[in-house]
């Protein structure tokens, strides 16, 4: 442990050069900015340190103050690509936003049916690749399946089972989709779907977090001090918590929009 602590004293100049290349493209931030690296702060990327209280068995036994060891964020980057982890987490957020926009709106447009996946004998396809979707009136959408008439039944089933409370009607290769009136009950149903969608997104977020933490674990036997791995895991957890909080804000805004 003592050897590991002494080694860290010789790292600043090396880490400075390494972190400079990594963060050169980030914008300048004001002095005192508490932002973590990857949040767009070039100045703080040099300064932010991940700290863990360490103590030897001897110190613990005597009740002495634990030694403080500073771990550079650049050193953490040597075992896990935090930028990639951040991108994966943000991709989950963007997917949730897209779901809210497409599926959970009280406004009607042909685009609300685009994403519905139709299972055919040739594979799975978005509805808009199989049929021409148009809006005949505010309360009626039309799906023309002339180009793929053999998939009409499958498309009808997909619309009915989309979870959007739709009851399509078939007339040859034409699928009529009446849009339910926007009642209080319908709004409450959409709000429940929004919560379910958010929970699914959080499950996806947990998978991203677990994947990144597992990557860190693979390096545990390759570094001289487990403090680095513990610091990396802490950063990943903080990123996941921040992303989950962002999802909660999206859900609150969507619920307010739906219920008024």
Task: Please tell me the predicted confidence (pLDDT) of residue 225.
Answer: 55
Across the range 130-159, mean pLDDT stands at 93
Cα dihedral sign for 72, 21, 45, 235? negative
Structure tokens at 21: 């290349």
Q: CATH says 110-178 is which class?
A: alpha beta
Superfamily the domain 73-99+183-259 falls into = Ribosome-recycling factor (1.10.132.20)
Residues of each domain in the chain carrying CATH 3.30.1360.40: 110-178
Confidence bin at 223 (pLDDT 50/70/90): low
Task: Please tell me the predicted confidence (pLDDT) of residue 106.
Answer: 66
The torsion angles phi and psi of 110, rounded to 5 degrees, stand at -55, -30
Measure Cα distances from 77 to 81, 226, 228, 234 in Å: 6, 15, 10, 13
Write down the pTM of the prediction: 0.57
> Is pLDDT at 242 greater than 90 in this prediction?
yes
Which helix (H) or strand (E) is 73 found in, with range?
A: helix 73-77
Residues of each domain in the chain carrying CATH 1.10.132.20: 73-99+183-259
Across the range 79-101, mean pLDDT stands at 91
Confidence bin at 75 (pLDDT 50/70/90): low
């Amino acid at each position: 442990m003592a050897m590991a602590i002494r080694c860290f004293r010789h790292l600043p100049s090396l880490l400075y050069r390494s972190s400079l290349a990594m963060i050169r493209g980030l914008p300048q931030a004001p002095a005192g900015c508490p932002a973590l690296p990857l949040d767009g702060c070039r100045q703080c990327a040099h300064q932010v340190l991940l700290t863990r209280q360490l103590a030897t068995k001897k110190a613990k036994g005597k009740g002495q103050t634990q030694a403080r060891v500073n771990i550079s964020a650049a050193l953490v980057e040597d075992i896990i690509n935090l930028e990639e982890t951040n991108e994966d987490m943000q991709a989950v957020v963007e997917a949730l936003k897209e779901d809210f926009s497409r599926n959970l709106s009280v406004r009607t447009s042909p685009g609300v049916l685009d994403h519905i996946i139709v299972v055919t004998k040739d594979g799975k396809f978005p509805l808009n690749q199989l049929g021409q979707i148009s809006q005949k009136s505010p309360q009626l959408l039309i799906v023309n399946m002339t180009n793929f008439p053999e998939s009409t039944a499958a498309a009808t089933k997909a619309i009915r089972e989309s979870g959007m409370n739709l009851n399509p009607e078939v007339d040859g290769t034409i699928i009529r989709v009446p849009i339910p009136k926007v009642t209080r009950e319908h709004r409450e149903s959409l709000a429940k779907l929004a919560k379910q969608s958010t929970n699914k997104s959080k499950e996806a977020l947990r998978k991203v977090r677990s994947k990144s933490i597992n990557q860190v674990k693979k390096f545990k036997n390759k570094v001289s001090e487990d403090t680095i791995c513990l610091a990396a895991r802490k950063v990943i957890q903080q990123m996941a918590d921040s992303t989950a909080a962002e999802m909660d804000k999206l859900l609150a805004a969507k619920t307010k929009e739906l219920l008024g």
